[in-house]
Amino acid sequence: MVIIPRPFLIKEKGGFFRRSGAVHCSGNAEFHSIMETVQQHFNGLDGGPIRCTKEESLDGESYRLDIKEDSIDLSARTSSGIYHGFQTIRQLLLSDEAIQCVHIEDQSRFAWRGFMLDTSRHFYSVAWIKKLLDALSLHHINRFHWHLTDDQGWRLPIKQYPLLTEIGSKRLECRPVWGRYSGGFYSHDDIRDIVAFAAARQIEIIPEVDFPGHASAILASYPGLGCTGGPYRVEDRHGIFEDVLCAGNDSLFDLAHAVFDTLGELFPSSFVHIGGDEVRFNRWNNCPKCQKRMHDCGLSSARALQSWITVRLATMLEERGKTAIGWDEVLEDSDNYCLPSDVIVMSWRGRTGGDAAVQRGHKVIMAPNTEGCYLDYRHSNDPEEPGQIGLSPIDVLYNFDPLNGIEAALHTQILGAQCNLWSELIYAGKIAEYMIFPRICACAEALWTPASDKSFERFKADLNVHQQRLDKLGLNQYRINA
Ligand code: ACM
Ligand code: ZN
């Protein structure tokens, strides 16, 4: 029986489920809205009656499933448990093969099972993001990290700063044949629509606004926020740029206040990702305002100045009841300038940053680019494969264990992990799908299934069945068994 991620416990019984036409869900009123959502998933699939029961003894995301010859019983304590159970049923109904009667008990290994989409380097439609969220939820992915700003485009309207979208959302297209300005942004209605769509699928959306680097789109819109005053442009090149937000200018925090207020109105999540990666210090080292700030605050290096900004941003979020997440650079020099211990560190440059962060008492989300988590990297070293920078083979991602090398007493500080898709080269959703699927299936199994039950050989064989299901959802995929 093929289910990805592989459930905690599967006991196959004698006999087969008899498909009897349309799926009909019934059960506890508390699960009514989940049943409405999944009813759409089951449109056109041959199924039968599914009964949902509330079961107080089960943990948050856990569910129990009994598939009998003439009906399916699903029980859980929470809506997310019920939703995950429905996705397991959906997988089985998406295959044409006979469904064996079975008893399943299922629970997740990690709480944070994430995926990050970069919508700055290229812009994706609301409809496509929904298609992606739906496909992610089929695999119990429960966090969508939405990278909304970067050098190549600002996608989040801020009432007090209209130029961020008027100027900052458009760049001179780098593919010269097109020779036009391209870009876009998500209206507040678009964002609310996507957040609600995700929530109905038990996915929490965590917005990221990257400060103080990756700021070309901000600087092009408001040049006064830079150290030199410009000129600046929304970047059409790839890379890491010298110009960052001026740390000596209090206007940076006026902007952050407006951004955090807007995020607070749009995103119910208790987390906000504040970026912090790849900040170049040349401008700060040569800027009188930045130098004055360092002197006034007793900061001995530009790195310490970045830590000072991180602490201020994290504190502003704390005042709004939110917890800051930062890329692992936010940890650097925090020996000298202490980062509040509730800041969550996202480890991307391998796992070194995450390992150091747990030692210092931080919670950590692993996303190491060295262990398959970067889906903009190529599937294989076949020169015909698209992708950038490195390799993320599916077996490496499958065998990735966020807890590897971390002493047992610190395991609870690892919230989980995620895959990231940077989109410099990914100019359309169909290309994104090819980079995401089926690697995200391997990630889902690495984060959900007990480590002792993982087997890449079994998973690889399972994909023969599972990729046909993803075909039915219209997803473009890399063929692992081709
Ligand atoms: C990153 O990949 N720059 C976080
Ligand atoms: Zn400056």
pLDDT 10s digits, 118-170: 999 999 999 999 999 999 999 999 999 999 999 999 999 999 999 999 999 99
Span 89-111, mean pLDDT?
97
Q: Are residues 312 and 345 in the same domain?
A: yes
Tell me, yes or no, whether 1 lies in a domain: no
Tokens of 421: 């898709």
Tally of CA atoms within 13 A in the half-sphere of 169 that contains its CB: 19
In the annotation, is 407 catalytic? no
Residue type, 120: S
Percent of the chain at pLDDT exceeding 70: 97
Distance (Å, rounded) from C-alpha 78 to C-alpha 85?
Answer: 11
Question: Given a cut of 90, is residue 16 above it in pLDDT?
Answer: yes
Residue of 11, 29, 114 lying closest to 66 (CA atoms):
11
Residue 301 alpha carbon to ligand 1 centre in Å:
22
* Buried-exposed string 366-385: b where 16+ CB fall within 10 A, e elsewhere: bbbbebbbbbbbbbeeeeee
In the annotation, is 214 catalytic? yes
Tell me, yes or no, whether 430 lies in a domain: yes
In the annotation, is 70 catalytic? no
Q: Is 115 in the pocket of ligand 1 (CB under 6 A)?
A: no
Q: Are residues 164 and 65 in the same domain?
A: no
Question: Given a cut of 60, is residue 331 above it in pLDDT?
Answer: yes
Q: Are residues 276 and 411 in the same domain?
A: yes
Q: Are residues 47 and 82 in the same domain?
A: yes
The neighbourhood of ligand 2, an ion, using CB within 5 A, equals: 227, 246, 248, 287, 289-290
Q: Are residues 300 and 171 in the same domain?
A: yes
Tell me, yes or no, whether 241 lies in a domain: yes
Residue of 197, 188, 348 lying closest to 264 (CA atoms):
188
Q: Which of 55, 193, 278, 385 is catalytic?
A: 278
Q: Which domain holds residue 135?
A: 112-472
Tell me, yes or no, whether 2 lies in a domain: no
Tokens of 398: 């499958």
At 174, the pLDDT band (50, 70, 90 cuts) reads low
**SS3 state of residue 76:** strand
Condensed to tens digits (0 to 9), the pLDDT of residues 293-326 reads: 999 999 999 999 999 999 999 999 999 999 999 9
Residue of 245, 246, 221, 247 lying closest to 232 (CA atoms):
221
Q: Is 238 in the pocket of ligand 1 (CB under 6 A)?
A: no
Contact 227, 286 (CB under 8 A): yes
Question: Given a cut of 70, is residue 175 above it in pLDDT?
Answer: no
Distance (Å, rounded) from C-alpha 467 to C-alpha 482?
Answer: 11
Q: Is 123 in the pocket of ligand 1 (CB under 6 A)?
A: no
Distance (Å, rounded) from C-alpha 281 to C-alpha 49?
Answer: 62
Residue of 294, 287, 299, 296 lying closest to 246 (CA atoms):
287
Residue 369 alpha carbon to ligand 1 centre in Å:
9
- Domain limit, last residue, from 63, 89, 106: 106
Distance (Å, rounded) from C-alpha 443 to C-alpha 373?
Answer: 8
Q: Are residues 151 and 66 in the same domain?
A: no
Residue 277 alpha carbon to ligand 1 centre in Å:
6
The residues that bridge with 171 in the sheet, in sequence order, are 182
Q: How many angstroms separate the Cα of 258 from the Cα of each of 6, 189, 306? A: 43, 18, 20
Q: Is 348 in the pocket of ligand 1 (CB under 6 A)?
A: yes
Tell me, yes or no, whether 480 lies in a domain: no
At 338, the pLDDT band (50, 70, 90 cuts) reads confident
Q: Which of 214, 273, 362, 466 is catalytic?
A: 214
Q: How far apart are the first and last CA of the chain?
A: 21
Which domain CATH number covers 67?
Answer: 3.30.379.10
Neighbours of 338 (CB within 10 A): 10
Span 170-190, mean pLDDT?
77
At 353, the pLDDT band (50, 70, 90 cuts) reads very high
DSSP 2-62: --SSPPSEEEEEEEE----SS-EEEE-GGGHHHHHHHHHHTTT----EEEEEE-TTS-TT-
Q: Are residues 165 and 263 in the same domain?
A: yes
Distance (Å, rounded) from C-alpha 270 to C-alpha 144?
Answer: 13
Tokens of 111: 């709480």
Indicate the number of domains in the chain: 2
Higher local confidence (pLDDT), 172 or 64: 64
Distance (Å, rounded) from C-alpha 68 to C-alpha 230?
Answer: 68
Q: Are residues 448 and 431 in the same domain?
A: yes
Contact 388, 425 (CB under 8 A): yes
User: CA gyration radius for the chain?
Assistant: 23
Tokens of 429: 């959703």
Neighbours of 450 (CB within 10 A): 12
- Domain limit, last residue, from 83, 106, 129: 106
Tell me, yes or no, whether 203 lies in a domain: yes
Tell me, yes or no, whether 438 lies in a domain: yes
Strands (DSSP E) contained in 175-291 are: 181-183, 204-211, 271-275
Tell me, yes or no, whether 83 lies in a domain: yes
Ligand 1 pocket: which of 116, 278, 392 to mutate (most atoms <8 Å of CB)? Answer: 278
Distance (Å, rounded) from C-alpha 332 to C-alpha 34?
Answer: 43
Distance (Å, rounded) from C-alpha 287 to C-alpha 280?
Answer: 13
Write down the pLDDT at residue 181: 66
- Domain limit, last residue, from 106, 133, 159: 106
Q: Are residues 182 and 299 in the same domain?
A: yes
Distance (Å, rounded) from C-alpha 163 to C-alpha 464?
Answer: 49
What atom of ligand 1 comes closest to residue 214's alpha carbon? Answer: 3
What element of type H or E holds 102? Answer: strand 100-106
Average pLDDT, the chain: 96
The residues that bridge with 232 in the sheet, in sequence order, are none
Distance (Å, rounded) from C-alpha 92 to C-alpha 78?
Answer: 22
Residue of 176, 131, 173, 123 lying closest to 150 (CA atoms):
123
Q: Are residues 119 and 89 in the same domain?
A: no
Which domain CATH number covers 417?
Answer: 3.20.20.80
The model's pTM is 0.97
Condensed to tens digits (0 to 9), the pLDDT of residues 206-245 reads: 999 999 999 999 999 999 999 999 999 999 889 999 999 9
Q: Are residues 59 and 140 in the same domain?
A: no
Q: Are residues 91 and 146 in the same domain?
A: no
Query: CB-based contacts of 357: which residues, under 8 Å, 6+ apart?
Result: 328, 331, 345, 347, 363, 364
User: Helix crossing, 429-436 with 126-137: angle to 10°?
Assistant: 20
Closest residue by CA, ligand 1 atom 1: 277
The residues that bridge with 154 in the sheet, in sequence order, are 149
Distance (Å, rounded) from C-alpha 307 to C-alpha 313?
Answer: 10
Q: How many residues appear in the chain?
A: 482
At 184, the pLDDT band (50, 70, 90 cuts) reads very high
